[in-house]
Each structure stands twice: as structure tokens, then as C-alpha cells.
Amino acid sequence: MTTGTASTQAYEQLTRDLTVGRYAPGARLPGERDLAAQLGVSRATLRLALGRLESEGVLQRSAQRGWFVPTQVLSEPPSTLQSFTEMARARGLRPTARVMRQEVRPASMDEAAKLRIAPAAPVIEIDRLRGMDGTPVCFDVVVLPSARAAALLGADLTDASLYDVLRQTCGIEVHRSAYTLMAESADAELARLLGITAGAPVLVGDEVAYTSDGTPVLIGHNKYRGDAYRFEADLFRRA
Amino acid sequence: MTTGTASTQAYEQLTRDLTVGRYAPGARLPGERDLAAQLGVSRATLRLALGRLESEGVLQRSAQRGWFVPTQVLSEPPSTLQSFTEMARARGLRPTARVMRQEVRPASMDEAAKLRIAPAAPVIEIDRLRGMDGTPVCFDVVVLPSARAAALLGADLTDASLYDVLRQTCGIEVHRSAYTLMAESADAELARLLGITAGAPVLVGDEVAYTSDGTPVLIGHNKYRGDAYRFEADLFRRA
DNA sequence: ATGGTCCTATACCAGTTAGTCCAGTACCGA
DNA sequence: TCGGTACTGGACTAACTGGTATAGGACCAT
């Protein structure tokens, strides 16, 4: 016998099987009972090994269905709302953010209309410079009605996803966003922040986010470095 | 296989497809057997999801006929595939196009891969300068396999929508497009064509269009004047 | 002896799968 | 008009899945 605990040995054997290609990408592994018998361990022990493999992303679990080998192709990226933080993490990059402003002020006419609140009603504005692995990628302004999101004023948004904080501390669940994208040139100030030259192309996204009952809860204004960000969507043509 | 049971995952995926406009109001969904295969789930599980959607009024069942999208569900306008021509007409503008190239050439490696055809297989490339009311707005390159779209070579695309021509003369119905958007600077040549200064921001869209059976039929590469075009989409957050 | 850790074995549950059979519908050619 | 055929959803079953909880055995340091 080699060394280590039984669960570690099962883990290592599975790792070997996977790297060798014993189980094809997308395929389902044998059931836990069979697999445990094959590896000569009990089912409980097997599950320790499987859990470890799952946390490493080498395997995916699906309740009542089985264990699957992840498909390397990130299949169809649907028009799905993915936060900057999530996107960065999905690509193995470390999302960073520097909060540059976080304060309450009266809403402008335009903001009041978009958020369906009274003009000059108090809103929270948060400006952040966001990046991946330290490189600035996006200058991000969000505006929310302070009546609904007061808790956000004290929140630390350096590391967290705004959507996550919004859900956890304010109980607000963003369901849909109306997104508008356009191309602009960076002015001197933005160029300085993003570390690009003035006049360089910038992808500008304007967002209005809604909860599932259709209430607008957030206005976003994002300016991305043109050379560091792409927007992907699936569009369907009606029959 | 993120979280939740398989049936709720199927339910959520269907919800997304419906809100995103994958199935038009009044249209019939694929049969349960096909749909189950598409979602990677068994038919019994799919029917759980369908039943839930029916109880919410999002779908209507018709025994021995199929599942239908209610016609009156006037949800928010989904991110729907709209051709340049359609968009212009919807805004009361007169779409124009100047065909600058319309020829057959061998496919590049990249194009062959995207269109799933043999490398160097013949493709049709069509370059057009498109505008609204005479003002140039977009430089547009489309590439299609000539095996499927040979009839396009002789077509007059000055006034017509490419999608329309594709349907009428080639029997090809575009159903879905994977769209990628980014911001770039106009080079001298493009600036000349669009009537802007070199270095001005340009919104670049890369498109791969598919028929309903998932076959890629078209590659598009569009460069829009940054000051004349915006892209709008509704995004939905996966639950 | 004690308690902790790792492992095995067993059992039950709710969700899922693949399969079968059925009756109703739609369509097409004779 | 008739009949054949292919497809549809409806209903059901048996086998299987991971999720969870339980109890007990083996080993080890204290």
C-alpha cells in the first residue's frame, strides 16, 4: 500500500483517472456506490474525495443525478447578468475595487425619473475604480435611492460584489437590467484613472437594474477600457 | 450544475429563454422530448418545470399539441435580434447601403472554425457601408459559406435586409446570434468611410449567427460610429 | 480507560431517469 | 372522404441517484 488516508488515496486515484481521460468531459461518473466499490473504499469516504474534487472545480455535482466532468468549453454564454466580480472570478482573476466616493446627495431629475422617486429625493452615489489583478479596467458609478439602500452607506465595497451586498444587507434582489452600450473617447480625467491615453476608446455601459417586481433599484454607469473588456450576449430573432 | 434540483434548473433556464425572447409569443415550444434533450434533463423532470411555468401563466399547455407561449404576455422588450434595416425603419429613418465588395474567396482558418466548414472552403464576403438617411453609420462585413448561400452572390443588397434576402432566396432562417461588443479606435481607412476623424471611438460588434438547429450560417463584423449608434439589451440574472 | 479521528456499513428519503403504453392531433396521399 | 402515419402530450413504473443520518469498529495520543 502507498500512504495517506483512504480518502486521500481515493482522491488521488480519481485525479489520476480524470487527468488520464478515463472519464470524458461532460460525462457522468459511475454512481457513488459503484465508484466506491471500484476504489475499494466506503461510500462515505468516497464522498470526502468527491467533495474535495468539487471544491477544486475538477468535478461538478448534481443532486439525484450524478457527478459530472466539467465541459471545458464554457458553452453558450447567454445574455445573463454577471457582475464584474463574478466575471473576474470566473476567469480566475482577482477582482479589485477602490472606493472613491460613497455619499448621499439629492437625485437629479434624470435619476429621479429612472428610479421612479421624487426629484431631489436622497440617493446614494458610489464611485469605484475597478480592476483585475490590480490593473484598472473600469470606472463605475452607481446611484441608488437611499430610502431602500441606506445600509449600503457604511458597507465596505472594496472586495465585495455590489449585487451580493445589496442582497445580503438590503434584501434587494436584482433580476433584470436594461443595458445600453456605446463607444466613447476617454477624457483626460478618465484616462488618468484607467491608465490609458486621453482619447483612447472606452466602452460605456448605462444600466438600470430592476427587481423581479419591476421596481427600478439602481442606476449604473460603467466606463471600461476598450482594450480590456468585451461585452457578450446571445440575441434571439423572433419567428 | 450550480445549485438546486434539476427540475428547478430546467425551470430557470426556460424562464430565461422566455424572457429573453427565445420563443416568440404565440409560438409552440419544441416537443417535450426534444426540449428535455436540449436542457440535458429527462422528460419527467422537464414536465415538472413545465407544470410550474404553466401554474405561473408563463406557458400554456395544449394536450397532444404542444406547449405555447401566451400571446398577451407583454413582458419587457427582450434583447431581440433586429437587423440594421429593421432598426432604421422602426425609427422612421431610411436605411441605405453601398455594396463595396461581393465576392467568393477561400475561408480563413478562423472563419472555417466558426462556420464549421473545411478550411479554405469557398465563402462569400460582402462588405457594405451602411447609413441612415444618407449619413454613413456602419461598415459591415459578412461572411457566409457559399455552399449554402450561393444565391446571395447575385442579389442586390443595396436596399434589402440581409436577413430577409437570406430567408427568401436561400431558405436560411437566422434564429440566434452570439454577439460580442467592444470599443476601438477608427483607423484612417475606416474614418474615411464613416466620415469621422481617425482615432475616433468606434463600436465594434462581432456576430456569429445560427439557425434554429444550431448550425452556424453567418459571421458578421460591424463597425459603428461611436457617436451614432448604441446597443441596447436586457440582461437577466441567473437565480 | 479516555476521547478524538478516520473509516465502514446500513438504511431511508426525495429527486431523477429511461422506458413503455396510450389517446388525441395534424398532415398527406389515395 | 378515407385511411395511414408520424408526432404530440399524459400517465405510469421500476430502477437508480445523491443527500442524510445512524451506529459501530479500528487506531492513536493523552
Q: How far, in whole angstroms, is CA B20 from its chain's centroid?
A: 12
Strand C atom within 7 Å of B42 CB = yes
Percent of chain B past pLDDT 70, that is, above it, reads 91
Question: Per-residue pLDDT tens for A196-238?
Answer: 999 999 999 999 998 878 899 999 999 999 888 878 777 776 5
Question: Considering only CB atoms, which chain B residues are within 8 Å of A180?
Answer: 230-232
B221 touches chain A (CB under 8 A): no
Number of domain units in chain B: 2
Residue B63 lies in a domain: yes
State whether B60 and B116 are in the same domain.
no
* Residue in chain B lying closest to A202 (CA): B183
Q: Are A46 and A35 in contact (CB under 8 A)?
A: yes
Question: Is the pLDDT reported for residue B21 higher than 50?
Answer: yes
Q: How far is CA B25 from CA A31, A193, B29, B133, in A?
A: 41, 46, 10, 32
Which residue among A43, A68, A93 closes a domain?
A: A68
Kindly state whether residue A235 falls inside one of the protein's structural domains.
Answer: no
Is B162 within a domain? yes
Whole-number Å distance between alpha carbons of B169 and B88: 23
Query: Does residue B79 surpass a pLDDT of 70?
Result: no
Pick the more confident residue, B59 or A158. Answer: B59
Last residue of a domain, one of B25, B42, B68: B68
User: Is A238 part of a structural domain of the chain?
Assistant: no
Q: Do both B117 and B195 map to the same domain? A: yes
What is the C-alpha separation between A209 and A116, in angstroms, rounded?
Answer: 12
What is chain A's percent helix, strand, coil content, to nearest 5?
30, 35, 35
Query: Is strand C in 7 Å reach of the CB of A7?
Result: yes
- Nearest to B156, CA basis, from B114, B203, B97, B216: B97
Query: Is residue A203 domain-shared with residue A163, that is, in the same domain?
Result: yes
* Residue B237 Cβ under 7 A from any strand D atom: no
Do the domain assignments include residue B76?
no
Q: Give domain status of residue A76, yes or no.
A: no
- Evaluate whether residue A230 is within a structural domain: no
Helix axes of A6-20 and A43-55: crossing angle, nearest 10 degrees: 60
Kindly report the CATH number assigned to the domain that includes residue B209.
Answer: 3.40.1410.10
Is A174 in CB contact (< 8 Å) with chain B?
yes
Cβ B60 vs Cβ B30: under 8 Å: no
Nearest to B235 among A63, A179, A238 (CB): A179
Q: Between chains, do B5 and A64 touch, taking CB under 8 Å as contact?
A: yes
Report chain A residues whose CB lies below 8 A from the CB of B236.
79-81, 175-177
CA distance B45 to B33: 11
Is there a domain that residue B112 lies in?
yes
Decide if A139 touches B, using CB distance below 8 A: no
Q: Do A212 and A106 lie in a common domain?
A: yes
What pLDDT was estimated at residue A76?
40
Residue A187 sits in the same domain as residue A93: yes
Q: Say yes or no for a CB contact (<8 Å) between B201 and A185.
A: yes
Q: Is A151 exposed, middle or buried (0-12, 13-18, 19+ CB in 10 A)?
A: middle
Q: How many CB atoms lie within 10 A of CB A117?
A: 19
**Per-residue pLDDT tens for B172-228?**
888 788 888 889 999 999 999 999 999 999 999 999 998 877 789 999 999 999 988
| Residue A130, C-alpha cell as written in the block | 475597478
Q: Which residues contact A9 (CB under 8 A, 6 or more apart)?
A: A2, A41
* Interface contact A233-B235, CB threshold 8 A: yes
Q: Are residues A110 and A215 in the same domain?
A: yes
Nucleotide nearest A28, from its CA to each C1': D17
Strands A176-185 and A135-145: unpaired
B50: CATH = 1.10.10.10
Same domain, A190 and A163: yes
Residues B56 and B148 in one domain: no
Q: Which of A35, A68, A101 is the last residue of a domain?
A: A68
**Min distance B81 CA to chain A CA atoms (Å):** 5
B60 and B173 in a common domain: no
Alpha-carbon torsion A99, A105, A111, A112, what sign?
A: positive
Residues B57 and B101 in one domain: no
The secondary structure of chain B in percent helix, strand, coil, rounded to multiples of 5, reads 30, 35, 35
pLDDT of residue A180: 85
Domain match, B16 and B120 both = no
Domain that holds residue B18: 6-68
**Same domain assignment for residues B110 and B16:** no
Strands B231-236 and A122-132: unpaired
With CB atoms and an 8 Å threshold, state whether A233 touches B182: no
